[in-house]
Structure formats: structure tokens, C-alpha cells
Structure 1
Amino acid sequence: MILAIDIGNTNIVIGCIDKGKRIFIERLSTVHTKTELEYAIDIKNVLDIYHIHREQLDGGIISSVVPKITKTAKLAVEKILDKEVLVVGAGIKTGLNIRIESPEQLGSDLVVDAVAGIAEYKAPMLIFDLGTANTVSVIDSKKNYIGGMIYPGIGVSLDSLTERAAQLRGIGLEAPNDMIGKNTIECMKSGMIYSSAAAIDGIIDRLEERLGEKTTVIATGGLAKKVIPYCKREIVLDDDLLLKGLYILYEKNNKK
């Protein structure tokens, strides 16, 4: 069994995987000011909830898009496991053929998503990761990572709207009962959810037109569950995509 951690701008995803099977997945808030010990306590508490002990864990792997926290989290996990932890980055074997101008700029989370997507689904494919930012990874029919898109996440869009409109405050990210809102809060909820879903449908249409063929579409990320049910296109919702990718990379880089 391994401990897999993905550090994002808003959340830290923590999970354990045993022989490719997810044991659990949880999320913690990303806090830039926490110390190595504080993160170690947080992670240890999650493991304790699921009755997982150090002796059961063969190792750990981390992907991160928050450089300030990466080293702190690595030291925290190593404090728990008492062994070196793998970090997705330069020098790690991925098997991914990245065809973009500066491959080193590709976020580790997108690398992990793509590795899992190629292993589990049919190419060509589009992978939507919905979080603080929404990202789209484009993988062609030859399983090459050829580029993608980045645009504001639904939470960022909502925060921007409420910061600039004094009367628009305190709404949750769930769809209203009717697409046509009957009050300000319902109108905002509808606008957030349905505009996000329509954007995803539209992006799929345009990318398939650009590629000249139909694609497999996968969605993952903390906010995917809130938006994907309202999309019209066929989209596979895979909450475990990051964990699957981290497990594959751990195995690939720890072969005896």
C-alpha cells in the first residue's frame, strides 16, 4: 500500500492505494503557513481515521503545483513513513510523450492525470481537471500530450463576482431547482453551474473540431461533481484519476 498526495492551490488530496485499488481519498485545505510538523499531524490524523499504520505503507508519492509547500509536505510525509518519498518532477520516469514548447512547465498534476488517462481510457482524449483553475489536457490518437487550456475555476469566478457586487454574497456552489432563477441567489447559482457546464460542452465541440475526430472525455478534480452532471456531452467522471496516476508513477519508478 502507498500513500499518495496531490497538493493543489485550494486543497490537498490524500489517499491510500493498495495494488491499484483506492482505500480512501480525503481533502485538506492548502495552508501556506503550516509547518512540517503541522502537516505531519494532519496527515497522520487522516491515516488514523482509516486505521492505517506506518508498517502497512510501502512508500509515498507527492505531486504539487505549490512549490512553497512541496518540501514541507515531503518532510512531513517522510516523518510519518520514516522513508524517502517520491516527488513528481524533473528526473522522474513518466513514459509520457509531451509535445509542447516547454515540457518542464507542464504542471505535475496534469502529468499525473495524463498518465492515468492513457493507462485507463481510449485515446484521443480530453481531460478536464476542475479546481481553483480549470485545465484541459489534450492527448492525441498516438497518446502524445499535445497541449491544453487553462481558464478560471468556478470558485474563482464566483469569488470575483461577489467581491465586485456588494449585494451578491454568501452562495453555495450547487445548482438551483430550476435553471431559470426566481431570486438573486438562484440566478447566481444557475449562472455559475450552467455557464460552467456550457463552457465544457463548447470546449469539447471546438477541440474535437480542431482534432478532426471524436474523443474520450474525462473529468476529475474537486469541483467536477458539481458541474459535470449538467453537461450535455458524454463525460466520464473519475474522482480517482490523480490517485491512479500517482500509483502508476510510483510503481514505474520503484521497479526492482
Structure 2
Amino acid sequence: MLLAFDVGNTNIVLGVFKEGELIQNWRLETDNNKSADEYGMVINQLFQYEGLDVGEVEDVIISTVVPSVLFTLQHLSMKYFNKRAIVIGPGIKTGLVVKYDNPKQVGADRIVNAVAAHAKYGGPLIIIDFGTATTFCAISEKAEYIGGTIAPGLKISSEALFEKTAKLPKVELEEPGNVICRNTIHSMQSGLVYGHMGMVDYIVKKMKKELQDYSESEEPVKVIATGGLATLIDSGIDCIDHVDKLLTLEGLEIIHRKNKRQK
């Protein structure tokens, strides 16, 4: 079995693959203060609850945008699974040609998403990841990572309103149904959710137009959304073609296959 870690600023998503098939996944809170032993105990309990044997884990792969957690998970991998984890970063085979000015600046999660989306849907592509930040990535039909956009995520925007204002409360991130709202909570939900939908719609339209300069075919640009809030945003706009919440885990499994012999 393969154990895959997708470490974000807010959550860690774990996936277990058996013979290339995702058989189980979980979501944990990212905690910089947790030790390898604490994470190890949690993972042991999750495996036991699902009737899985940690002894069957043959490989571990990690994608992280939180450097402080990386050492912890690498230590966990050696102590609990006796495996040296594959870490997404320089030197790892992905099949992508990264056109960023400095390829090292591209987040590991964005690379992994691009690998999975291009393998599943072909190109050209726009990939939107609704995480702590909302990221947009443009991929050509030749598997070139061209670049993208980074915007504050919905949760960050919501927390900023609460923390930086004296009277505005915390609100649930859901559609209020109207943009002309008659109370503060609905007014905030409207601005946050519908404002984010409008941003996504505008950036996708502009990105599709710019992608024409990199395309040698007439293939339409497919828009793939992932991340915890993808379904909420997709419900109010028409520019997203597919919502694929397990995209990053699937990308990790693909990259593992490309790098298995290098270990």
C-alpha cells in the first residue's frame, strides 16, 4: 500500500492506495506543534478503525506547503513505517515542464494537481484549488505548467472581516440566497461567497483568453476545481467543468509511480 500526505496550511489530507486504487482517505487539522508520535498514534487509530494494517504500507509520499511539518512527517515515516518518504520537490519526476520564472517557487500542491488533472482530463487546463488560498493554474496541452494566480481563500477573507472589524461576527460560509440582504450575517455571506464566485468567473475568463497564446490546437480549455470549498463555489457559476476533490491525492499516486524506481 501507498500512504500519501497532502499537507496544506489548514488541513492534512491522507490517502491510502492499494494497487493504484484509493481505498481510504481522511482529513486532519494541520498542527505545527504535533510531534511525529502524536501524528503516528492518530494514523494508527484511523487504520485500525478502517480495518487496515499499517504493516502493509510499502511507500510514503508527501506534498507539503508547510515546511515546519515536513520534518515531522519524514520522521513519522521512518519510525512507524520504516520507509524513507518521497517528498515532492526539486529532482522529482512529474512529467511537467514548469515555465515559471523560478520553478522552485511553485507550491508542491499546485504541481501535484497539475500532474493529476493533465493525466485525467488532458489539456489545456485551468485548475482551481479552493484551499487556504484560492489558486488558479494554467496548463497547456503539452503538459507545460505556464503559471497562474493566487488569491485569498474564502476562509481567510472571512477571518479577516471578523478580526479586523469591531462589530462583524464570524459567519458560516454558505449562500444566503440573495445579494440584497436584510441582516449582517447574510450580508457578509453574500459578499464573501458571491464575491468569490465573481472573482473566479472573471479570472477564468481572462485566463482562457491568455491561454490561447500558448495553445497549438483548437481544444477547449477545461476547468477543474478541487479543495474543500469547490462544491460551494461551483454551485453558483458555470465556468467549472469538473469538481474533483481528491485530485491532489491522485496526483501523488501518479508521481509515486514515476519515481518508484529512484528510491
Which category of TM-score, normalised to the shorter sequence, fits these structures?
Answer: over 0.9
Q: What does residue 159 of structure 2 align with? A: 159
Q: What does residue 250 of structure 1 align with? A: 256
Aligned residues: 256
What code does the residue aligned with 2:233 have? V
- Could you tell me whether the CA contact under 8 Å between 2:158 and 2:170 is conserved in 1? no
The SS at the match of 1:16 is strand
Q: TM-score, normalised by structure 1?
A: 0.94
Q: CA deviation at 1:179?
A: 4.3
- Could you tell me whether the CA contact under 8 Å between 1:44 and 1:80 is conserved in 2? no
The SS at the match of 1:6 is strand
Q: Which runs of 5+ in 1 are unaligned?
A: none
Q: 1:235 to 1:30 in 2, by over 3 A?
A: same
The SS at the match of 1:253 is helix
Q: Distance in 2 between matches of 1:110 and 1:10?
A: 16
Q: CA deviation at 1:178?
A: 3.7
Q: Which runs of 5+ in 2 are unaligned?
A: 213-217
Q: What does residue 239 of structure 1 align with? A: 245
Q: Distance in 2 between matches of 1:6 and 1:137?
A: 18
Q: Distance in 1 between matches of 2:86 and 2:226?
A: 23
Q: Distance in 1 between matches of 2:18 and 2:166?
A: 49
The SS at the match of 2:235 is helix
What code does the residue aligned with 2:130 have? L
Q: What does residue 169 of structure 1 align with? A: 169
After TM superposition, the structure 1 = structure 2 runs for residues 117-128 of structure 1, keeping only pairs within 5 Å, are 117-128=117-128
Q: Distance in 2 between matches of 1:175 and 1:20?
A: 37
The SS at the match of 1:150 is strand
- Could you tell me whether the CA contact under 8 Å between 2:159 and 2:170 is conserved in 1? no
1:222 aligns with 2:228: yes
Q: Distance in 2 between matches of 1:180 and 1:48?
A: 50
Q: Distance in 2 between matches of 1:182 and 1:115?
A: 45
Q: Distance in 1 between matches of 2:210 and 2:91?
A: 33
Q: CA deviation at 1:48?
A: 2.1
Q: What does residue 96 of structure 1 align with? A: 96
